[in-house]
Amino acid sequence: MSAAALTPLYTREAIAARVGELAAEISRQYRGEPLVAVCVLKGAVIFFADLVRQIDNAELRLDFVRLASYGEGSVAGRLRFERDLETDIRDRHVLVVEDVVDSGRTMAFLLKTLAARGPRSLRLVALVDKRERREAPVRVDFPGFCLDRGFIVGYGLDYAELYRALPDICVAEPRD
């Protein structure tokens, strides 16, 4: 499949407003406490860049993970780190920053793995919380937008590595 038909869903203005609200909420939550923000590559990279610059926290550290599936195809496959954290998160407040939570499998794996390292707290902010296909019980502590159905691209989100740099988030439908 080459190109997709794109229909705007969340404009850059709507995204900016919501990211500002999330940053304010997160700043309040961790007031005066050191925080490690963890970007889940690649999809969260643009959200992460916008969000962390608005978090008011003098002891904010940034780190990055990249996960990959292996085994029996991407759906049934197991997950592993393609890039792990550099930071020792023991006894630290950790905030995972993800683009989309869909089935929840990716975040269930990541949160379980990070929890085993003994952080002081572990929370999840996701730009989009898709609940239609949830399989793993993942709680999004700070949801940006909730979406019932549809495949979305832009603002970091891809379809076959395309469309990540679009400033707006659009619903993508295959064109044939």
102 as an active site residue: the answer is yes
If binding is defined by CB under 5 A, does position 104 make contact with Mg ion? no
Rounded to the nearest whole angstrom, what is the least distance from the CB of residue 33 to ligand IMP in the complex? 27
What whole-number distance in Å separates Cα of residue 49 and Cα of residue 122? 20
Cβ pair 129, 147 in contact under 8 A: yes
Residue 4 touches which member of Mg ion, ligand IMP, none, C-beta under 5-8 Å by kind: none
DSSP string computed for 7-31:
EEEE-HHHHHHHHHHHHHHHHHHTT
Catalytic residue among 84, 102, 141, 176: 102
- CA 106 – CA 65 distance, rounded (Å): 12
- 43 forms part of the interface with Mg ion (CB under 5 A): yes
Our CB check for ligand IMP shows the closer of 30 and 172 to be 172
The answer to whether 113 and 171 have CB atoms below 8 angstroms apart is no
Name the residue nearer to ligand IMP (CB basis): 50 or 98.
Answer: 98
Which residues contact Mg ion by CB under 5 A? 43, 99
User: Which residues form the catalytic set?
Assistant: 102
